Amino acid sequence: MSARTVKKKTAKKKAAPKKAAAAKAAPKKKAPARKTVARKAPARKAAARAGRPKVLVKEKIAESGVDLLRKEFDVDVRLDMDQEQLKKEIKKYNAIIIRSATRMTAEVINAAPNLKVIGRAGIGVDNVDVAAATKKGIIVANAPQSNIVAAAEHTIGLLLAQSRNIPQAHGSMKHGKWERSKFGGVELAQKTLGVVGFGRIGVLVAQRALGLKMKVVAFDPYVSKQRFEELGVEGVDKVEDLYRQADFITVHLPKSPETKGFVGKEAFKKMKKGVRIVNCARGGIVDEDALAAALKSGKVAGAALDVFGVEPPADSPLLGFDSVVVTPHLGASTIEAQDRAGTIIAEQVAAALNDQFVSNAVNIPSVSQEQMNVVRPFLPLCEKLGRLIVEIADGTLENFEITYQGSIAEADTTLLTVAFFKGLLEGRVEDAVNYVNAEGIAEERGIRVTESKRRQTADFTSLITVKSEDRRGELTVGGTTIGPKHRPRFVKIYRHDIDIEPGRYMAFFRYDDIPGMIGKVGTMMGANNINIANMNVGRKKIGGKAVMSITLDKPIPESILDEIRAQPEFDDVTFITFP
């Protein structure tokens, strides 16, 4: 079932359902025809169509991938080609396949008039100038699921290795010793595994742990309770609840500023004594100094790490502990994963050259120029609304209703809903979220969106409203664009009307509507040398509850936010950094 349900509404009197669940029960109406969002590149020059398309395999991939391509295309395998040669010869090719060593810079891309697709046999595309490729209508595709089995199996391997001291016992025997009593371990059966981050790899780890008769507890605020239940896993709302229960903890979070040091000093304080840690996700998510201190104190009994903040980790304090098992970033290093990456990317390149759907494209899908001209100004707004509603929510959100009103309701809003998913999920899942995969990731996590359209709107030419429910009840955010430059505006927040232009740094306050609150916020910001650029206040009645939205010139430190939250007049304050 798709994460999107489209219901077109034209009558003003007919109310939108309060929950997406209600929309599911209603009779389905035929959705307006949607433009195909295939990753279809513009037609290339006649040279590209004169014969069979030409593919350059610049770095080694599985032979099965090369064979697949040769069935339809002329393939050159040129592993010895340097960057200068690439720049000279790329004009001959319609597609190129690379790994991590080749740099597809703007200079190289601009020298490729016939290129339709760049295939990256792996996950990251840091070595590709995606913006330059997108500008030229070139598809950039990767193989994001090629290593998920390998990473999950490596996680289980490290779990077993540290619980039974296998590497230490191996090293001892290699030195001619026989120390059976020294390397006694613990069993995994009937123990509790805490999985922090429940994306594709986290799910695979949980399934394997259940097979080992472990109890699995997982934390991921962007996965629905129903999804946890389907997989036989206990989902928790707060990571602290996981810390209190888990005998073993494995981390599967994306690397971002928000997750750097996620498992740190304060987290270790909340864990059970004797807990064991595994990190096969990204270096830096586990604070290595804090982990070393926890190992030294005995709070943590052991750890197993495949990734480090700095690689190779020559100066890591963890290397001095006998209770720490380490591997040199081997999570994806299996024959099968490498072969799979090559085969997957060959399939993606073939699809692109045949003008078919490219499921792993990382750059924006194309729609008609006419439709893009209409929806483009609203894309940043929808991303911001997605980020805004999830940041201000009290608890997990599962179902959303997006209402498009006014002139925007006449457009194909497919990309706008995808933009909402992107803002909702970006930086919160282990995958890089883009306009191609955002809807699929949302669907995997049990997130549902119902779309409604109304041609009438009372106050704006176009209005986009998002509703959901958190612990406090109905939660609403809304926005529009203003003027010939379509400057975005937030016009609804929590359960109140506001009017403020989004900024990079924003704070949102809920408080008692009593005299002096605006001055109190201003005074606190001024005392900490934080300049307020804009402010707007909304309320429903005198003396009730009010909301304040402010944009700032720099971030508010967490200590100041805690100071505000501690004051009885404030219900809450949320600080958000928008990309």
Q: Per-residue b/e over 482-497, b at no fewer than 16 CB within 10 Å?
A: eeeeeebbbbbbbebe
Q: For 285, which DSSP code?
A: S
For 253-339, list the strands marked E by DSSP.
275-279, 300-305, 324-326
To the query of whether residue 49 is one of the catalytic residues in this protein, the response is no
Nearest by Cα to 279 from 205, 368, 358: 205
Distance CA 336, CA 321 (A): 32
The catalytic position among 99, 208, 276, 282 is 282
The catalytic position among 44, 244, 329, 376 is 329
Find tokens 């987290």 and name the residue. Answer: 267
Nearest by Cα to 432 from 102, 219, 200: 200
Burial, 69: exposed, middle or buried (Cβ in 10 Å; 0-12, 13-18, 19+)? buried
Helix, strand, or coil here: 223? coil
Amino acid at 553: D
Nearest by Cα to 300 from 330, 321, 329: 321
Contact between 280 and 151 under an 8 Å Cβ cutoff? The reply is yes
To the query of whether residue 329 is one of the catalytic residues in this protein, the response is yes
Distance CA 404, CA 385 (A): 13
To the query of whether residue 401 is one of the catalytic residues in this protein, the response is no
The catalytic position among 72, 107, 240, 311 is 311
Long-range interactions of 492-496: CB distance < 8 A, separation 24+ = 492/465, 493/388, 493/392, 493/538, 493/547, 493/549, 494/392, 494/547, 495/540, 496/538, 496/539, 496/540, 496/546, 496/547
Residues 6+ apart with CB under 8 A from 476: 465, 466, 467, 492, 493, 494, 495
Sign, CA torsion 221/222/226/231: negative
Distance CA 211, CA 121 (A): 31
Distance CA 560, CA 579 (A): 22
Tokens read off for 210? 């259940």
Neighbour tally for 1: CB within 10 Å? 7
Contact between 464 and 408 under an 8 Å Cβ cutoff? The reply is yes
Find tokens 């003027």 and name the residue. Answer: 483
Alpha helices in 282-430 (DSSP H): 288-297, 335-353, 369-375, 379-392, 414-425
Amino acid at 429: V
CA distances from 254 to 286, 479, 506 (A): 12, 29, 24
Burial, 160: exposed, middle or buried (Cβ in 10 Å; 0-12, 13-18, 19+)? middle
Catalytic annotation, residues: 282, 311, 329
